[in-house]
Each structure stands twice: as C-alpha cells, then as structure tokens.
Structure 1
Amino acid sequence: MYHLLRRFGFYALAGWLSLTINFFLPRLAPGDPASLVFARFQGQMKPESLEALKQVFGLTDAPLYQQYFTYLKHMLQGDFGISVVYYPARVVDVIGQGFQWTLLLAGTAVVISFVLGTGLGIVAAARRGSWFDSILPPVLAFFGAFPYFWLAMLLLYVFAFRLGWFPLGHAMSDRLADDSLGTKLYDVISHAFLPALSIVLATVGGWMLSMRNAMMGALGQDYVGLAEAKGLSRFRIIWRYAARNALLPNMTGFGMALGFVMGGSLLTEVIFSYPGQGFLLVQAVRSQDFPLMQGLFLMITTAVLLANWLVDLFSTILDPRIRLES
C-alpha cells in the first residue's frame, strides 16, 4: 500500500506540473483567442465587441497569479472554456464528442493488438523452432516496420478507393436508408475498420516479439524447471507460471499505450477524417484554438498518468516481489 501511495503522490505532482505548464505556455504565445475570433470576421464586428469576447474567453487584466488560481479552480470544475474553432461550443463538449470516437477507434485497436500480440508471443515461445515461430514473427515485424499512416493510406487506396468495400472516411454516414440500431452499428464499424486495421497491423508485431522474448527468458528460470520436475502439465507451466511473469513488461507498455489513446492516432484520424482527439488537436493547432489545445493536452496528460498508476497497481497484484520490496 505504501508503494502505491508513494507512486500516486509522484503522479499527482506530475499532474500539477503539467497543469502549470499548460497555463503558462499559451500566455507566452502572441495574441489571444478573442483577437483571433475578432480577426476572422475581417471588420464585420464592432471594436467594442472585442471586450465582450475577452469576457467570454475568460481573459482579464488581473495579475498573473490571480489568473493562475482562477485557472486551477476552473480546471478542477471541468470548465475548459470556449472553443475558438467550434465557437460558441464549450471545450469540454467538443472533447467529449471526440473522445467517444477515439475510444472506439484507437482504444479498441490497442486492446486488440495487445491481446492478439501477447497471445501469439506466448504461443510462439511455447512452440519455439516450429513453423509458427519461424514465419509469423518476421511477417508481423515486416508490417510493423512501415509507418502506421503509410499503412493507412495503402488500405484506404486499395480497399476504399479502388475496391469500394469500405467508406473513404469519417466516422459514420450522414444519411442512412434505415435508422435501425443494427444498420447504425454496421455503418460505424465499417467506417472504423480500416483505420483500426492499420493501427493493429503496425503494432501487433511489436507486442508479439516483446512477449516472445520475455517468455523465452521466463522459460529458462529455475521455477519453471522445478514445475517440470514436479510433473505439472506443459499447458499449466506455460500459462500459469511463465506467462504470468513474462506479462509484466508488456503490461507496462500496454499502460503507456492505453494512456496515449486519449491523444488519438493523429495521422490515421487525419487521413480518414475521423473526428477523434487527434483530428481535433490538428484543428486546434491550425486555428490557434488555445482553450481547446489546453483541454486536449490536459486530458492526454491525465490519461497517461492515470494509466501508469493503474499499471503500478496491477503490477503489484501480479508480482508479489513488488509488495515485499515496498
């Protein structure tokens, strides 16, 4: 318990530092959101409207430390301000809409890639020297050598543009002939299939090789030899003893990957015009939407820190040595 509390304190400190950096960085940049919105209308707004816009975006002439504490108060309340790109929508509403698509696409792809790659790595280590172990790792490593956005463009060109089997982009169709739940579900899955497949193809080989190498080391440990001497079944030795210990390094990487899901698969979402967090981040940077950028960076940082703490929690449960050392 002390180990988990200590790690939680470390992540809480890192979260406060990210909040502070998130506050100061936009204020070091020239201009402000109100001036950007005012400039977009190219003289169609009256000059006195600028002050009203500054009030809408929470911009004041108060001392910096007062702005900082006001900013912390709003962050704790979940108030990220008004988006410039999607004005007058609130940042929290914009992020909420993007998060559901990112969770569906990148979250599902990461989980599928991790489970599939880890399982294949265990089987490859258990069948060391077989055709399965000789052919599959190099093939998956070959796909993993390509950038995932290149695979995305290739899949988009072949299966969507040339063959027409899948939609060219977006998360769902604007109009459907049938409004039934089954039709909507099929439409959403067909739009997410190609971008998710590009992520899985690019990452499953890494998970497999990492798990295979960890399993090879675990199978050479003394406790595995003792289990074999006791007459335990091969299946139990592989999955109960070796895989449980070899899984720990992959769990750490999985926690990091799951945390970065909040950021979305930026280039994949841009290629498929998929309205996730990565696509929103590109839109925010292009339009200098500081409130939206702040909200997205904060959500990504929080997700990474929380995922790391959950990895520490599961590692403590899976590995008794961590509890004894702490």
Structure 2
Amino acid sequence: MSYFLRKLGFYAVALWAALTLNFAIPRLLPGDPVDILLAKLQQRGGTVSPETREAYSLLLGGDTTEPLWMQYVDYLKNLFRGDLGVSVSYYPAEVSDVISQSLPWTVVLVGLSTILAAVLGVTLGAFVGWKPGTWLDSLVPATTLLAAVPYFWLALILTYLLARVLGWFPMQGGYDVTLSPGWNAEFIGSAIHYGFLPALTIVLASLGGWLLGMRNMMVSTLSEDYVLTAEAKGLSPRKILRSYASRNAVLPSVAGFAISLGFVVSGSVITEQVFSYPGIGSRLLGAVQNNDYALMQGVFLFITLAVLGANLVVDMLYGVIDPRTRARS
C-alpha cells in the first residue's frame, strides 16, 4: 500500500509543477493576446478604447496589471471551475468548447492507431524474437525502415497512391461535409472512410519501433535462467512463450505504450495537417500561428493530464504485474 501512496504523492507534486509551468510559459512569450484581438476588431471597423481593452483583458483571463501571484491564484481557481478562457483564434468560443469539439477526433484516430500498432508490433515481435534467425527476421528491416520515414513524406506517398491514383480514399478532411455529424451509420462510415489514410500512416510509421523493441527483449529473455528451467521441466513451447518469456519481455513495451497513449491527446500534428484532419493537432498549430495563448495553455493542460494519467496507471500496473517493483521501492 505504501508503494501506491508514494506514487500518488509523486504524481500530485508533478501535476502541481506542470500546472505552474503551464501558467508561467505563456506569460514569458512575446506578444499580447489582447492586442491581437483588438487588432482584429480594428480590421473589421470597430472602435478601440481603454474600456474595450479592459473588457477584453478580463474576458481573456483576468487583469494582467495584477501582481503575478494574484494572477496565479486566479488561474488555479479558474482551472478548478473548468474555465480555460476564451480562444483568440475562434473568438468568441471558449477554449473548453474548441478542445471538446476536436479532442474526440484525435482520440479516436491516433488512439486507435496507436493501440493497433502496439498490439501488432508486440505480437509480431514476440514471435520473431521467439525464433531468431528465421525468415521472420526479414520483417524487421522493412518495418524499421518505415519507422525512419518522416510522417509527412509517408502521408504524401499514401495519399498519392491510394487517393489520387487509385481513388480508394478521399485526400483530405475528416468526414463528408454534406452530412450532419451524429451517431448514425452514414456519418460513422464516412468518418472511418476519411480517417483510414491518416490511421494507416500512423500505424505504418509506428509498427517498426514496437516490433524491434519486443523482438530484442524476447531474444534477451530467452537466455534467462527461468526460461531454461521451464524448458528443462518439459513445458510446452506455447506455455513458455506465453507465461514466461513474453510476459517478462513485454514490461518495457508497457511503459512505452503508456507514454505513447498519453501523447495521443497532442495528436499527430503533421499527419493531421497533411490530411486537413479536424483534430487537436490542427488546433494547436493554429493556436501557435495566431499567438492564441489561452488555447495553447488549454491544449498543453490536456496533454499534461493525459501523460501523467497514463504513466500513473502503468506505474500502478507495474506494481501488480511485477512484485519486485514494490520490493525495490
């Protein structure tokens, strides 16, 4: 029990530190979101006055003339209320609304692609590592080559071959714009059709890393004493592979999977940009281009929570899967 309490305390401190950095970093960047919003107002023929500036400053997160510690207290209060401010890029929409509209697209696309790549890579890596030196090893260079290819280049190649030349899939977008979003078979089918190419790009680019890592760990695990003992006892190869070798070899992949799953929230910015996919990565890129500090801060907050949450879950699972972890802590 003390192991789990220590882990919870560590992640609570890490969360506080991350929230503090999330507050400080945007305020160290050059520029002022209020000035950006006032400039847009002037371009539309609006009149800018001191009262307008004060109103916009309050709208975007408080009075910036207050002492920094008071701004920090207000920032924490707003977080606990779920108030992330107003987005400059999508004014007058609130940051929470912008994120809630784009987050499901990224979670479904990148999340399912990451899970699929991890499951396929770890499974294939276990079988390749179980019989090293066979023809299955020839799969490793091909998959690692795909892992070394830049995301945008692989996305462009797949788009050209499967969308432009063969015409099997649409080139851009997240769904057919003539349809109304909703939980119906037509819209879901359209979303799957449009999301297949981005998902294929992520799976192909990620598969090699999972396969190679699991393969190398399996080769190393096969020389351990407990595997040799299991073989000497006459256990079946399937039993040794499932209960002894792969169970211990998969532990590093579990940790890597937690980190990958945590970064699902950030999305694959380049992939989403190539396919004009309406995910959180596109929103983050737009926020950076428009100096939308409130939206950047909100996206970074969700990324932080996702990464910390995923690592906390894996640390807890480590304590259950491998009792030696609790003994060393």
- Which 10-residue stretch deviates more, 2-11 or 160-169? 2-11
3-state SS of 2:265 partner: helix
Contact 2:41 2:47 in 1 (8 A): no
Q: Are 2:204 and 1:201 equivalent residues in the alignment?
A: yes
Deviations 1:266-317 (A, max 9, x none): 1000111111111110000001111000001111111111111111111111
- Which 10-residue stretch deviates more, 10-19 or 236-245? 10-19
* Alpha-carbon distance in structure 2 between the residues aligned to 1:68 and 1:240: 51
Over aligned residues, Cα RMSD in angstroms?
1.7
Decide whether aligned partners of structure 1 residues 72 and 253 sit closer, same or farther in structure 2, where only a CA change above 3 A counts: same
Amino acid at match of 1:319: D
1:81 is aligned to 85
* Alpha-carbon distance in structure 1 between the residues aligned to 2:144 and 2:181: 42
Decide whether aligned partners of structure 1 residues 22 and 177 sit closer, same or farther in structure 2, where only a CA change above 3 A counts: closer
| Structure 1 residue 106: Cα displacement | 0.6
Contact 2:125 2:214 in 1 (8 A): yes
| Structure 1 residue 51: Cα displacement | 2.3
- Which 10-residue stretch deviates more, 115-124 or 221-230? 221-230
Contact 2:175 2:190 in 1 (8 A): yes
* Alpha-carbon distance in structure 2 between the residues aligned to 1:165 and 1:206: 28
* Alpha-carbon distance in structure 1 between the residues aligned to 2:249 and 2:182: 47
2:146 is aligned to 143
Decide whether aligned partners of structure 1 residues 177 and 291 sit closer, same or farther in structure 2, where only a CA change above 3 A counts: closer
Q: 1:112 aligns with which of 108, 113, 116?
A: 116
Q: Are 2:17 and 1:13 equivalent residues in the alignment?
A: no
2:24 is aligned to 24
1:71 is aligned to 75
* Alpha-carbon distance in structure 2 between the residues aligned to 1:233 and 1:280: 52
| Structure 1 residue 182: Cα displacement | 2.4
* Alpha-carbon distance in structure 1 between the residues aligned to 2:182 and 2:54: 45
Q: 1:51 aligns with which of 39, 51, 54?
A: 54
1:156 is aligned to 159
Deviations 1:198-221 (A, max 9, x none): 111111011001001111111111
| Structure 1 residue 180: Cα displacement | 8.6
Q: Identity across aligned pairs (percent)? A: 47
* TM-score under structure 2 length normalisation: 0.94
3-state SS of 1:262 partner: coil
* Alpha-carbon distance in structure 1 between the residues aligned to 2:200 and 2:31: 41
| Structure 1 residue 3: Cα displacement | 2.1
Amino acid at match of 1:46: T
Amino acid at match of 2:203: V
* Alpha-carbon distance in structure 1 between the residues aligned to 2:3 and 2:280: 33
Q: Are 2:34 and 1:34 equivalent residues in the alignment?
A: yes
Q: 2:106 aligns with which of 92, 102, 106?
A: 102
Q: How many residues align?
A: 325
* Alpha-carbon distance in structure 2 between the residues aligned to 1:268 and 1:293: 19
| Structure 1 residue 179: Cα displacement | 8.7
Q: 2:133 aligns with which of 129, 134, 139?
A: 129
1:292 is aligned to 295
3-state SS of 1:241 partner: helix
1:187 is aligned to 190
| Structure 1 residue 98: Cα displacement | 1.3
| Structure 1 residue 29: Cα displacement | 2.8
- Which 10-residue stretch deviates more, 313-322 or 236-245? 313-322
| Structure 1 residue 164: Cα displacement | 1.7
* Alpha-carbon distance in structure 2 between the residues aligned to 1:146 and 1:47: 50
Decide whether aligned partners of structure 1 residues 145 and 180 sit closer, same or farther in structure 2, where only a CA change above 3 A counts: closer
Q: Gaps (5+ residues) in structure 1?
A: none
| Structure 1 residue 168: Cα displacement | 1.3
| Structure 1 residue 163: Cα displacement | 2.1
1:220 is aligned to 223
| Structure 1 residue 42: Cα displacement | 2.6
- Which 10-residue stretch deviates more, 94-103 or 38-47? 38-47
| Structure 1 residue 57: Cα displacement | 1.3
Q: 1:312 aligns with which of 291, 315, 320?
A: 315
* Alpha-carbon distance in structure 1 between the residues aligned to 2:146 and 2:202: 10
* Alpha-carbon distance in structure 2 between the residues aligned to 1:62 and 1:111: 46
| Structure 1 residue 46: Cα displacement | 1.9
Decide whether aligned partners of structure 1 residues 31 and 272 sit closer, same or farther in structure 2, where only a CA change above 3 A counts: same
Amino acid at match of 1:122: A
1:272 is aligned to 275
